[in-house]
Each structure stands twice: as structure tokens, then as C-alpha cells.
Amino acid sequence: MFWPMLAIALGFCGLAVLTVLAARVFVETRRLARQVAEASRRVTRAAEDLERAAAPLAAQSAQTLRKD
């Protein structure tokens, strides 16, 4: 009777460990998703800033090329 009870106890402990690890993976995945979303917003903002900064240069280059 000892061995079946030990097997059941070890099985329960194994499931408890897997549950804790799954919860940690879930939390870290959500944190990573938030970081990826923030990085994506920053990249989009930087691309918009670059586009705004490049517009006057493009216009100036076009005028210079038309003069030649």
C-alpha cells in the first residue's frame, strides 16, 4: 500500500511543479508581449520622425536637381 500512495503523491507533486512552471511561463510571455508591443510603438514613432525629418531634405534635393 505504501508504493501506490507514494506514486500518487509524487504524481501530484509533479503536476504541482508543472502548474507552477506553466504559470511562470505565462507571466513571462505576457511580459515579453508587452515589451515587444512597446518596442514596436517606438520603432513606428522613430520611423515617423525620420520620415518627417527627411521630407525637407527630399524637397531641397528635388529643387537642386531641377535647377541643373
pLDDT tens digits for 31-53? 999 999 999 999 999 999 999 99
Residue 9 pLDDT greater than 80, yes or no: yes
For residue 43, what pLDDT is reported? 98
For residue 68, what pLDDT is reported? 58
Closest CA to 37 of 29, 25, 48: 29
Q: Report CA-CA distances (Å) from 67 to 9, 39, 48, 63.
A: 86, 42, 29, 6
Rounded CA separation 12/18 (Å): 10
Q: pTM here?
A: 0.65
